[in-house]
Amino acid sequence: MGKNILIISASPKKDGNTSLLVEWVAAAARSKGADVEILNAGTMAFKVSGCTACRACQKLKDYICVIEDEGKLVLQKMISAHVIVMATPLYFYGPSAQLKVIFDRMFSLYKWDNAAGTMRTPLKGKMLALVLSGFEDVGLDVVEKPFRMTADYTGMMFESLLVPNAGVSGEIRNKPGVKDLATAFGKKIA
């Protein structure tokens, strides 16, 4: 049975560079037998603008964010995925705000016992994969770092596809070699 891959596509541009990269990665992963689901977080209606640090999730037995919106469903789907792909454009040397909302609300997928110094999470053992493009060739490594560090902290494997010089939305289609890189990446994570 193939891997279950969840792609969180977090650009507001429907036919932009992130969408194209996601399309290529997904097609390649499916060609290897993976079951791929793509969620468009870039256009989701979030009830709040980020994690509210209410810590209500920490009082629950289950790994659930208490904020009732589409973001909650994305988090739930992460639990059953083998591979979680986060795809984002580079926005001022950070990920898109839409992805950051999901990323911070991942807090609900951890249970900390500060007194005992322990942390449990169903994300452990999964793979986190970052797909990132920018107009220039500056700062993609900066954005990669918090994702890689979070994967390390969580006990997840980490892979990344960084695409510099991607042009403005949609121009990535005409950049030589990028589709091949995305295809190879899709096969690798599957």
Ligand X SMILES: Cc1cc2nc3c(=O)[nH]c(=O)nc-3n(C[C@H](O)[C@H](O)[C@H](O)COP(=O)(O)O)c2cc1C
The contact set with ligand X (CB under 6 A) reads: 11, 13, 16-18, 89-93, 133-136, 139, 166, 168-169
For residues 50 and 139, which CB has a smaller minimum distance to ligand X in the complex? 139
Distance CA 127, CA 139 (A): 23
Specify which residues 85 forms β-bridges with. 7, 129
Q: Nearest distance from residue 76's CB to ligand X, in Å?
A: 25
DSSP 50-67: S-----GGGGSSS----S
Distance CA 39, CA 146 (A): 22
Residue in the shown chain whose Cβ atom is closest to ligand X: 16
Contact between residue 53 and residue 103 where contact means Cβ atoms under 8 Å apart? no
Q: Nearest distance from residue 135's CB to ligand X, in Å?
A: 4
Q: Nearest distance from residue 98's CB to ligand X, in Å?
A: 11
Contact between residue 77 and residue 39 where contact means Cβ atoms under 8 Å apart? yes
For residues 13 and 72, which CB has a smaller minimum distance to ligand X in the complex? 13
| Largest Cα span, the chain | 54
For residues 122 and 164, which CB has a smaller minimum distance to ligand X in the complex? 164
For residues 123 and 143, which CB has a smaller minimum distance to ligand X in the complex? 143
Q: Nearest distance from residue 132's CB to ligand X, in Å?
A: 8
